[in-house]
Every structure is written in structure tokens, then in C-alpha cells.
Amino acid sequence: MRQLLVECSDPGIIVSLAEEFENILRQVNFARAEKLQYELRDLARELGTEFEQAWRGFRIEVPNDSGRPLSFGNREMVDEARVQQLLTHAAERGIGKFEMRDTLLLPQDGPAPETRGQYVRDLADSIRYEYLDDLHLLSRPTDLPDAMAAHRQNLMDEHVADVLRARARDANVGHRWIQTSVGQLQKALEEVDTRAEAVMLYELTRLNPAEVEPEERTRWAMLAARLGKEVEKWLDAAEEPLTFLYQRFALACLAWNECQGMGPARPILEKRLRALIEQAKEIYTADAVDALKLAFKDLHQSPLDRLRDISEMDKPDAETDE
């Protein structure tokens, strides 16, 4: 996938607002993003033709594959030195602090100029995916807890290894050997799963989250969501080190994906996500709140529905600034 993205991308320059994502959600709606774009354009014009030419071609980067909103992207050759000088002047004038870097950018085939709907979609995707690594949540967040992985490995060694060795020596060949082997292996795996799940359920109840490392709490929370056992206990524990509302929202989305939106965890997660959206109305911009609502809607959609919605949004007449 990474290689495909590289092959489909173009070299470009990204100018990003140097703000924490939480501040973007609290302060930078689409109208503010457009205003920053206009202020940078007007400043470049004021500084002279060379600056104006250097800034020409930059547009709000949506979808944002540059790492974070808010960003402005340009896929043409630009005078980077002039752009950097422009950004220095912008900081001195109080327009904002910006960072510039080279990157590879996917083509932008959507509406131009960009729309509020695209910006809200960009925020929604960033909430769910780009910022899960704020507290290293992307480092094996959905793996089994280490103790449970080791326990199941021991069970595999005990119950499955002998089956595999026996099947290797079996006299049958061809389809009959495969079918017989699959049947025996399935029985062995079912035994492992039954024994492992019993221990997992016991440990979810027995363990005190305060005695578990923060990253490991996240893995226990994901296991709780899959099994539908002690979900609130472990989600509360995994949330404890998270500073911002959007991080707690992203964590609940991760748990939703792990239980596939089914089972005992679903109503707990729905209630939690709805409550976070209500809390966001007090601190986030309307665009950010709509992004949370969109991310919540995504959880209830199939991948095909999601692609259909994105296709509709990218049509020129699909303006959503209502």
C-alpha cells in the first residue's frame, strides 16, 4: 500500500499551521482556514511580486495526506526560500506560526476552491486515524495483552503442535489427508480458544487497571470490547492518561472496530461516543463537532457506503456549507 501511494503521489510543498490538533478543533473552522489562506495571499502580494508568485498555487490540503490539518499544499515548483520568508513575516504579523516541509502528495481532484464538507471530512479522518499515535496508541494497540498472548502460545504448543506432527506422519495423501488434517486441527484450535477465553474473562475481572501499564491497558480495553466483558472498567482505565476529548473519541472508535460494532460492547460504546459529541459542543467549533458526528456515522456504515459518500462529496455541486 505504501509503495502504491508513493507511485500515485507527486512531489510537493506543505505549509502547516503549527498548532496542536486540539487547538485546531477548538479554534480553526473552515471559515478561519479560508481567512488564513487569504491573509497569507494578501501578505505575499504586499511583500512583492516574487512572494506573490511563490505563494501562488497553494490551496487548502483536503483530503489531508500531509500529516495534519490545517495545511496548504502546492504540487508545482516553488521558491521555497521566498515561501519561508513569507511564513516568517506571517508569524511576525500575528497571522500565525507555520511549518514548511517537502512531501509526497496525492492528487486533489475534488472541488476548487475547497468546501466546508471536505474540511469536515478531513477533520473526521484525522480524529479517527492520524492522531491515534499522540500517546503511541498505534504501537500494537489491538494486540492481545502480553500475558494473554503468552498464555495462548503455551496452549498452542500443548494442544496443536502434537496434532501437526501427527498429521505430518499420516499415511494419507491428497484431498483426504487435507480434509482429515483440517478437521483435527480445528478441534485442537477450538480447545485452545475455549481455554484461552476462559482465562481472558477471568483476568479481565481480576486485574486492577491501576497496576497495569497505560499502553497495556489499551490492549486490555480492546480485548474487553471483543469479549463484551468489563468493557466500561477497561475503557475508563485506557482513557485515564488521555488529555483531550478527541483522543477519547478515537479510543472508543478503535474499540468499536475491534468488536465490529456488535455484542455487549456496542451500546456501551454508542452511549460513550454520543456523550463525547455532546461535550464537544461546549469546547469545539461547529465544524469539529460535525466531524465527530461524521466519524460516528462512519462506524455504522459499510466500506461501500463510505466510498459512495466520499464520491458524492467530491462532486462540484456537493457543497455542504448549509
- How would residue 226 be classed by pLDDT, with cut points 50, 70 and 90? very high
| CA dist., res. 171 & res. 157, Å (int) | 23
Average pLDDT over residues 220-236: 97
Residue 320 confidence (pLDDT)? 44
Give the CA-trace dihedral at 14, 316, 118, 55, to 10 degrees.
Answer: 20
Residues 185 and 167: their CA atoms lie apart, in Å, by 9
Distance CA 62, CA 73 (A): 9
- Residue 132 CA from chain centroid, whole number: 6
Indicate if the pLDDT at residue 70 is higher than 50: yes
Position 182 in a domain? no
| CA atoms of 82 and 76, how far apart (whole Å) | 14
Q: What is the tens place of the pLDDT at every residue in 187-224?
A: 999 999 999 999 999 999 999 999 999 889 999 999 99
153 domain-assigned: no
How many domains would you assign to the chain?
1
CA distance 247 to 131: 7
Alpha carbon of residue 30 to chain centroid: 21
Residue 90 lies in a domain: yes
Judge contact between 40 and 17, C-beta under 8 A.
no
User: CA 268, 270, 274 angle in degrees (round to 5)?
Assistant: 120
**Which structural domain range is residue 67 located in?**
2-108
171 in any annotated domain: no
The CATH number of the domain holding residue 59 is: 3.30.70
Residues sharing a CB contact under 8 Å with residue 265, sequence separation 6 or more, in sequence order? 224, 225, 226, 228, 231, 255, 256, 259
Contact (CB, 8 A) for 137 and 218: yes
Supply the pTM of this predicted model.
Answer: 0.84
The answer to whether residue 104 sits within a structural domain is yes
Asked whether residue 39 is assigned to any structural domain, the reply reads yes
User: How do residues 289-298 score in pLDDT, each as one tens digit?
Assistant: 999 999 999 9
Q: Does some domain include residue 127?
A: no
Over residues 7-32, the pLDDT tens digits come to: 556 677 889 999 999 999 999 999 99
Whether 277 is in a domain gets the answer no
